[in-house]
Amino acid sequence: MTGTPSSSAAALPAPARPLGMRLAAWALPLILLLFAIFFSLAEPQIFPTTRTIVTILRTESVAAILAIALVFPLVVGKFDLSVGAVLGLGAILTTGLPSLQGLPLLPSIAIAIAACGTIGLVNGLLVARLGVTSLVATLGSSVIVTGCVLWYTGGNVLYTGIPRDLPRLAQADLAGIPLPAIFLAIVAIAAWYVLEATPLGRYFHAVGGSAEAARLSGLKVERLTIIAFVISGLLAGFAGVLQSAQLGSGNPNVGPPFLLPAFASAFLGATAVRIGTFNVWGTVIAVFTVAVGINGLQLMGVEFFVGPIFQGAALLAAVIATRQLMRKRS
């Protein structure tokens, strides 16, 4: 869904973007600011407090990391419908290996993330080497992973034998900043650097712009596609580790509900910062824009079902806006 200019075009001065496109890049941050102002005025005793800010940072960092994971396949023009299930796998292995197999926490985390990266590798091989469409391949792997998680746990929530150090990954602060938010910052900076400041990132964008043109220019499209899926799996696994720390237990049903918010954030993020392009900072802003909106509405006493409706509406609006903005950009 993204394009990379050719070498001859790159030598020419870039045409100035229309004013509307430049303003659109800042629309999402402005919405976030307006949400914060509105809910601060509507609930002045609850919303504009340090506790609310810290809570949002702590709880939404997992969703933001998962949305960043999704950006990598999207940049190369593929969909990964397995990220929610992979997050669940990472969460269950992080808790299940100590609880059921008696392994120490750090090896359990390493195995969990490696297993999730392996799922990403399998997805990449299915798509790049066997030619299975990404929607079908990742949907199938999602169902398989979900079934394996249920088999491993017997469908039960794991409460006993959870290492005491695990919840500290979610509960600890550093200079008043929740540790999950610090992990998010590290992941976001690293992902931004890879996508925007390295040859690998430029190759990803070239593949997403036109896989055939990238192949004719000498890029190893299959390998790049596989790498994008592996990165997605590894980041989804890390998000699962943090989610297990948030819960302090292993819930076999925790992963799939993260899928819709991740897609909503990735597509909504493509309407900000870099218009019409899946990008890290737009995605992070989108996560917290939706989170502030939902949290604010909940604090005002709206019904529980408003959250999913809000997320679904955000996804539809984001897809429509992204398509329109890409047409204007082209």
Residue 11 in domain: no
pLDDT in tens, 185-200: 999 999 999 999 999 9
Show the DSSP H helices in 248-303 as ranges.
259-269, 280-299
**pTM over the 0.85 mark:** yes
Residue 7 in domain: no
Structure tokens at 41: 């005025």
pLDDT value of position 14: 43
pLDDT in tens, 223-237: 999 999 999 999 999
- Please report, for the domain that includes residue 302, its CATH number: 1.10.3470
Spell out, as residue ranges, where the chain has pLDDT lower than 50.
1-14
**How many structural domains comprise the chain?**
1
pLDDT value of position 189: 97
Residue 285 in domain: yes
Backbone angles phi, psi at 157, to 5 degrees: -80, 135
Residue 302 in domain: yes
Show the DSSP H helices in 198-279 as ranges.
199-209, 211-216, 221-247, 259-269
| 311 vs 296: CA distance, rounded Å | 14
Residue 66 in domain: yes
pLDDT in tens, 108-122: 999 999 999 999 999
- Closest to 232 (Cα-Cα) out of 313, 138, 310: 138
Residue 14 in domain: no
pLDDT value of position 290: 87
pLDDT value of position 271: 80
**Could you tell me the CA-to-CA distances from 64 to 1, 59, 235 in Å, in that order?**
21, 10, 10
pLDDT value of position 18: 58
Beta-bridge mates of residue 173: 178
Residue 13 in domain: no
- The domain of 302 spans 20-329
Residue 139 in domain: yes
